[in-house]
Homo-oligomer: A and B are copies of this chain.
Amino acid sequence: MIDLPSALPRITDPDVKRTYGVDASFGATPPEDFEVVRARDTADVVEAMTYAQAHRIPVVPQGARTGLNGAAVASEGCLVLNTERLNTIETVDPVEGLAVVGPGVVTEELKKAVRVEGMSYPPDPASAASSTIGGNVATNAGGLCCIKYGVTADYIRGLQVVLPGGEVVTTGRRTAKSSAGLDLTGLFLASEGTLGVITEVVTRLVPAPEDPLTALATFDSLTAAAEAIVALRRDPQPPSLLEFLDDLSIAAVQDLADYGFPQGCAAALLVQSDRPGHVEEDTRRYADIMTTHGATDVALADDAQEADALLAGRRALNAALEAKGPNLVEDMCVPIRALPRLVEEGRTLCARHDVEVTMSGHGGDGNLHPSIYFDPTEPDSRARGFAAFADLAQLAIDLGGTISGEHGIGTIKAPYLRRQVGDAALARMRAIKAVFDPHGICNPGTSYTA
C-alpha cells in the first residue's frame, strides 16, 4: 500500500483510477495496487518524486495514455504520475521561433495555437488530437510529416525535468543554437519516463507551410509502389507526406466507409506537397513520377478540400484497423530499399504463424505499422500472434532497420532491443539511467531498463 502525502491530488474513484492504470497498448490491464497522482503543477511533481524516491516506489510517468507499447501502464505497487493537467501554453514566440508549454498540452492544441501566429509545430503523430507534448517527447513521436519535417526530437530546444528525489533540472536552450557541454535534452527524447518527469518543454517552431494538395495512386504490385517511393524521394523537391497502404489496409478503410479508395490493387500511395507556391505543380509531378513507375491509377486533388477528402481515408485507417478486430501494432523502420522485403517477407512470416497482418504507414520514411490480428484471450492465438510480432521485430533488425520508428520500446518490445543496439550501447544506456535515477524508480522494466 502506498501512503501518499495528503496534499497530492490522487484519484480515489476506483473505476476512474483503473482507466489511468493502462495506456493504449494491446491487452493492457491495470494492476491491483497502485496510486494515480494527477499533478497540478511542478511542485506536485517535485513532491511526488521526493516521496517516491524516499520510499523506493516505482513511478510511471504518464501523459494522455495513447502510447502503444506499454510504457505508461501501471505496475504493481507503483505510483502513476500523470501530467496531463500541466497543460499551459506559456509562450508562443514567432520571432524567436519557439513555444514554451507544459507537458500536458495536447499536440493538436499546440499546433493550432502556433498556427494563429503564422507558425508551425510540425510533428503530427496519428494521435495528435489526444496525445500530449510530454508523451511525444518521451516517445520521440513522429507522424505523417517526417519525410519532410523529421520527428519530435528535431523540434525540442530544452526541457525542465524533475528527477527522482525532486531535483528540478533545466536542460538545453532557448536560443537558435548552443554548443555548451553534453546534450541532456536529447537523452529525454524517447526515454519513455525512465530518467525523470518532464514538466516543461521548449519547442522550436518553423514558418507555417501552405495548405497541401494530395495525389492518391494505386499499384498492382508492391515492388512498383516501392520503386515509386524511391523515385519520389529522389525528386529535388520531395513530398511533405508519402504514405503507404497495402491491399488489406485499403480494404479495411473501405469497409469502414467509402473513402473512394480503389479495391483490387496491391498497394496505394498518398503523396502531398505543402511547398508555398508549388503545391499544384509538385503534386502533378509526383503523379507523373508514380505513373512512370507503374501506378495503374492516380487521383489528383484540385483544391484543399479535395485533398482533405483523399487523405481522410488515411486518417480513418487506425479506426478501420481497430474495427477489424483486436490487433497488435508494429512500428518498424527500415532502409527505403528494404521496404518491398519488409512487406513481402513480413506477410510470409505472419502467414507461417497463421495470423493476419495489414501493412501500412509512413512509406516515405521506410516506417511501417504492420497490424497483427489475433485474440489475446485465446492462448494459442496469443502465442501465434506474439511469435509473429517477435519475428517481425527480428526481420526489421535483419534488414538494417529499427524495431521502433516512432512509438518507442515500452515493455512490449523491450525483449528485442538488445539485438538491435548491442550489448555495449545497452550497457551505457543503463549506466546513464543510474546517473539520473540511482535507485531505479523511474518506469522500471521499460525499454532498455528491462
Contact = CB atoms under 8 A, between A and B. Distances in A.
Nearest to A408: B179
Tallying the copies of this chain within the complex gives 2
Interface of A is mostly: loop
Nearest to A400: B174
A139, A178, A422, A424: most-surrounded residue (chain B CB, <10 A)? A178
Interface string A248-278: 0000000000000000000000000000111
A153 B185 CA distance: 13
Interface residues of A, number: 83
Interface in A168-187: 168-171, 173-184, 186-187
Contacts of A325: none
A51 interface: no
A432 B429 contact: no
A429 B448 CA distance: 20
B175 A179 contact: no
Contacts of A235: 207
A10 interface: no
Interface in A345-392: 365-367
Interface stretch (A37-45, A140-148, A216-224): A140-148
A420 interface: yes
5 contacts: A146-B177, A167-B424, A169-B422, A177-B402, A183-B189
Interface of A: 94-97, 118, 139-142, 146-147, 151, 153-154, 167-171, 173-184, 186-187, 189-191, 207-208, 230, 233-238, 276-278, 331, 333-337, 365-367, 400-409, 417, 420-422, 424-426, 428-429, 431-433, 435-436, 447-448
